[in-house]
Each structure stands twice: as structure tokens, then as C-alpha cells.
């Protein structure tokens, strides 16, 4: 009996030694939001949503409101028109650069608060004092009464060279459809509304701190949208029919435009399918994709020339 106890104790000790202790300690460290030199690069779009836009949020300085120090946020980017079917095109119709409000953080209670422009009081933006099974509190970006978001997973991801805690949110049958990330926000973006995507939504493409891309990783080309951005291809035509897709769909595209790849990805930015050198004969297959909303982008020479969404029935 003593031998068994000794063996179990030794096994437990060896298992503990096998787990990197610095990893465990890093995940227990709270990483607050940045207070300067930060940029959230995002995209929004969908079906008949009037929300087709490439943009970024960035910190522009500090201000004092009600005796608290807040960090001012601006949003700048471009808005695209929609085609006849209600899907996003690459035709720029507006450039904007607006102050939207300011945030502060209570690092002791792990909460972030936001004051929208022209308001005199703040309200909850993020609560990172969460455990598995908790229902997400009502905030600017979450209506817990309607969606009953709850924490179904807690793990960590590498941001830069540190481990940041991540919270998977579920609502009904939508398991871990979005993640909250300490010090960044969510995979839907800084102010992305937390509901399961259907016909439209927002996506955090990348996050930069002190001029360096730290999310999703340092190799991601986190380009900034500027007023000088122009349509890359004139008179560009693209359409997917039918959309929603039950089994297959056809592509309609300018036949004189060469070497364009179509990439289909999910709300987390994970590439699922890639069609190389697409043309009018290219057929989109439902394949193993589950029913739901997916994003796609058309890429030519590593440049995105068109974005949109497809619905799989």
C-alpha cells in the first residue's frame, strides 16, 4: 500500500514539473487595457445592414471627467456601398474620422467603463471578473436579458509575448461564438455587440500596441485605413448566386481580372476554404460547412479587393 502511495506522489510531482510554471503564473496576471499608443483594426459588413466599413479605433489622449482620468477614443475609416442584392462592395462612399467617447478602467475590480460623446456619465463596457458559468452582465455591448450570454470557457492566448486570459461566450446552441480578451476587448472588436452573428456583424482583424502588431500575431499585416485609400480595381463586378447557399453556388466576376483568390473564413478569422484563380466557372461548395454566417474576401497579390458574407443553409 505504501508503494502505491509513493508512486502516485511521484507521478503527481512529475506532472507538476511538466507544466511550465511561468505559463501558469502569467495567466493569473491581469492585463489592463492600454492607456496610449493602441489601435484596434476592424471590419463590419453583412446583408442589407448599411454597415459595410473598414475602420480603426485609436487612443488620442486623456481627459478628466467627474474626477476620473479617461482615455479618449476616435474612430476613422471608410464606408462602402452595397450592391443591388444588399451585399458589401469595395466602392468607397465616405471617409470619417470622429471622436466617439472615452474609457477608464477599474483594475482592482477588472472592469472597463465608457462615456459616449456628449454624455456626462459612464456605463459598463467590459467585466473581466468572470468565472465559468457566469452570466455576462448587461453593458453597452451586451443585452443579457435577450441573449443570456454566459461564460463557457476560460483559457489564455499569447498577445505579443505574454499570456492574456480569454473568455469564451455561449448563447443557446452557439458555443464559444465570441471571445473576450483581457486588455483588448473581444473578437468582435472594441465595441462589437455580443450576439451570435446572423446577417451582419463586426470582426477584430488585428490589434497594435506601440506600433507593433500583437494580435492575432506579429506576422499579421495590420494595415491602417487612411483617406488616401481608393478602389483597387475600377468597374469591378462580383456576385455569388444563390446566397444563402444550400448546396452549391456560382460566381459572377469580371473575366478580364486575373489571379484572384477567394478565401472563406469564420467570425474568428480562421480560414476554412480557399478557391484559387476564380472565374465565372468557379463553383462554391457547401462542403463540411455548418449552417450559419461566414465571411469571404477576394485577394489579388496579397491585397484585399473585395469583402462580403455568405449564409450557409
For residue 31, what is the DSSP state? -
Supply the pLDDT for residue 10. Answer: 38
Supply the pLDDT for residue 228. Answer: 53
Residue 225 lies in a domain: no
Q: Are residues 184 and 276 in the same domain?
A: no
Please count the structural domains in the chain.
2
Supply the pLDDT for residue 39. Answer: 97
pTM beyond cutoff 0.75:
no
Q: Which residues, 6+ apart, have CB-to-CB distance to 104 below 8 Å?
A: 68, 69, 70, 71, 112, 113, 122
Q: Are residues 59 and 145 in the same domain?
A: yes
pLDDT higher at 257 or 160: 160
Per-residue pLDDT for 62 more than 60?
Answer: yes
Q: Return the top range by mean pLDDT from 18-27, 72-81, 195-204.
A: 72-81
Residue 108 lies in a domain: yes
Supply the pLDDT for residue 255. Answer: 58
Per-residue pLDDT for 243 more than 70?
Answer: yes
Q: Which residues, 6+ apart, have CB-to-CB distance to 281 below 8 Å?
A: none
Supply the pLDDT for residue 67. Answer: 92
Q: Are residues 92 and 201 in the same domain?
A: yes
pLDDT higher at 312 or 133: 133
Mean pLDDT for all residues in the chain:
84
d(CA 121, CA 116): 8
Residue 262 lies in a domain: yes
pLDDT higher at 241 or 115: 115
Q: Are residues 103 and 139 in the same domain?
A: yes
Per-residue pLDDT for 144 more than 90?
Answer: no
Supply the pLDDT for residue 27. Answer: 62
Q: Are residues 135 and 85 in the same domain?
A: yes
Per-residue pLDDT for 22 more than 70?
Answer: no
d(CA 35, CA 72): 9
Q: Are residues 169 and 299 in the same domain?
A: no
Q: Are residues 197 and 289 in the same domain?
A: no
Residue 188 lies in a domain: yes
Q: Return the top range by mean pLDDT from 33-42, 49-58, 216-225.
A: 33-42
Q: Are residues 155 and 95 in the same domain?
A: yes
Per-residue pLDDT for 3 more than 50?
Answer: no
Q: What percent of the chain has pLDDT over 90?
A: 44
Per-residue pLDDT for 131 more than 50?
Answer: yes
Residue 295 lies in a domain: yes
d(CA 30, CA 200): 32
Please give the average per-residue pLDDT across 24-40, as a whole number.
85
d(CA 175, CA 267): 13
Q: Which of 164, 181, 215 is the last residue of a domain?
A: 215
Q: Which CATH number do you get for residue 300?
A: 2.60.40.10
- Can you give the residue range of the structural domain that contains 97? 38-215
Residue 265 lies in a domain: yes
Q: Are residues 84 and 202 in the same domain?
A: yes
Supply the pLDDT for residue 236. Answer: 62
Q: Are residues 90 and 162 in the same domain?
A: yes
Residue 70 lies in a domain: yes
Helices (H), the chain: 2-18, 21-27, 144-147
Amino acid at each position: 500500500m505504501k508503494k502505491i502511495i509513493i508512486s502516485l506522489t511521484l507521478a503527481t510531482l512529475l506532472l507538476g514539473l511538466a507544466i511550465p510554471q511561468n505559463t501558469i503564473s502569467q495567466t493569473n496576471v491581469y492585463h489592463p487595457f492600454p492607456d496610449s499608443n493602441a489601435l484596434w483594426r476592424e471590419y463590419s459588413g453583412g446583408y442589407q445592414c448599411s454597415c459595410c466599413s473598414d475602420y480603426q479605433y485609436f487612443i488620442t489622449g486623456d481627459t478628466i471627467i467627474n474626477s476620473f482620468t479617461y482615455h479618449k477614443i476616435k474612430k476613422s475609416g471608410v464606408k462602402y456601398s452595397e450592391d443591388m442584392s444588399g451585399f458589401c462592395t469595395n466602392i468607397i462612399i465616405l471617409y470619417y474620422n470622429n471622436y466617439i467617447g472615452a474609457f477608464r478602467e477599474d483594475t482592482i475590480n477588472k472592469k472597463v467603463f465608457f462615456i459616449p460623446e456628449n454624455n456626462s456619465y459612464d456605463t459598463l463596457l467590459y467585466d473581466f471578473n468572470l468565472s465559468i458559468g457566469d452570466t455576462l452582465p448587461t453593458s453597452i455591448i451586451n443585452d443579457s436579458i435577450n441573449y443570456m450570454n454566459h461564460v463557457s470557457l476560460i483559457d489564455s492566448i499569447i498577445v505579443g509575448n505574454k499570456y492574456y486570459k480569454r473568455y469564451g461566450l455561449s448563447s443557446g446552441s452557439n458555443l464559444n461564438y465570441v471571445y473576450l480578451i483581457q486588455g483588448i476587448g473581444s473578437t468582435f472588436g472594441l465595441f462589437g455587440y455580443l450576439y451570435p452573428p446572423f446577417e451582419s456583424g463586426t470582426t477584430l482583424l488585428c490589434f497594435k500596441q506601440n506600433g507593433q502588431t500583437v494580435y492575432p500575431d506579429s506576422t499579421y499585416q495590420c494595415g491602417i485605413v487612411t483617406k488616401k485609400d481608393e478602389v483597387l480595381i475600377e468597374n469591378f463586378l462580383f456576385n455569388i448566386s444563390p446566397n444563402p447557399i444550400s448546396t452549391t453556388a456560382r460566381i459572377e466576376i469580371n473575366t478580364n481580372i486575373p489571379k484572384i483568390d477567394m478565401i472563406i473564413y469564420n467570425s474568428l478569422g480562421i480560414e476554412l476554404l480557399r478557391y484559387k484563380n476564380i472565374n465565372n466557372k468557379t463553383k462554391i461548395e457547401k462542403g463540411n460547412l455548418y449552417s450559419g454566417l461566414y465571411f469571404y474576401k477576394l485577394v489579388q497579390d496579397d491585397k484585399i479587393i473585395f469583402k462580403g458574407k455568405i449564409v450557409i443553409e
